[in-house]
Amino acid sequence: MDKTTKDLIIKAQAGDTESFHEIVTIYDTRIMTLTLQIAQNKEDAEDIYQETFVKVYKNLSKFRFESDIYTWIYRIAVNTAYNYKRKHSKMTIVEPKEESGYDFLDWVYDPQSSEDNREELIIAINQSLLTLSHQQRTVFILKHIQQLKIKDIANILELSDGTVKKYLFRAMEKLRVSLKEYNYA
């Protein structure tokens, strides 16, 4: 952690709200990317983003510099995203738009600037991810997109290694079946 970031954290811990917002600006792109990946829709991703940083703000005084601040925020974000499903049902009822793909795409990707087959693939991948259970999707994203180790995923989500492996296998198998026709296109 560089000195500037450390200074910002110390100031924010002392109650300087502007320093807190500077910290947000440093890390929020990565956190929003993560929440979009797990939630698969803009509204839920935004809710998780807000909930994450409000938790960070409320608990910042407890941060003791024993780990990297990003690791700490990241853990809060993953846990918030994982537990979000228990409180809200929106994640499971996302329906694809008929013509232009998911609203998720409207916010992260401009279909106009891409070739049709790529757009089709993106829609297929998102559709496949939505067929996974919330647990399967979270574990898959953390392992294969965020590239965490199984042990770390189990630790963050407070699951056993075996359960993580079970979710991973189910997720990978479902994606393999859904995306088989695109694999050699």
Partner 1 sequence: MPNNISEQQKKQAALYICNALSITSKRKLEQELKNNSKLLDYVNDLKLSIEKTREISTIGPSEELLQGSRNLLRGKIQDLNNKETIVAKLFAILNNIKDGVASIAKTRQPVWAVVTYVAIGLIAGRMLLTPLDDKPIDISGQEQVDMNKLLQSGVLSDLKIDQSTLSPSSIKLVSHSDDKFNVSGNVNDKNIRQILYYLLLNDNDVDNRYQAGKQIRRVNPDSESQMVLISSVLSETNQRVKMQSMETLSQYQSSTDLINACKRILLDDRNFEMRLQSLNILEKNKSIELIPLLEVVSKMDDNSKVKKKARELLADLQKPVSIESTEDIQ
Query: How many residues does this entry show for the chain?
Result: 185
Q: How far is the CB of 163 from partner 1 (least distance, A)?
A: 13
From the list 40, 55, 43, 19, the residue with the least C-alpha distance to 122 is 40
**Does the CA dihedral 81-83-84-85 come out positive or negative?**
positive
* Footprint on residues 80-139 left by partner 1 (CB under 8 A): 107-109, 121-122, 125-126, 128-129
Q: How far is the CB of 37 from partner 1 (least distance, A)?
A: 5
Task: Report residue 96 as tokens.
Answer: 């694809």
115 by DSSP, 3-state: which? coil
Cα–Cα distance for residue pair 54/165, rounded to 1 Å: 31
- By C-beta, is 66 or 114 nearer to partner 1? 114
User: Could you say which of 5, 11, 13, 24 contacts partner 1 (CB under 8 A)?
Assistant: 24
Q: Phi/psi at 38 (nearest 5 deg)?
A: -75, -45
Q: Which residues bind partner 1 (CB under 8 A)?
A: 17, 20-21, 24-25, 28-29, 32-33, 36-37, 42, 45-46, 49-50, 53-54, 57-58, 107-109, 121-122, 125-126, 128-129, 140-141, 143-145, 150, 165, 168-169, 172-173, 175-176, 178-180, 182-184
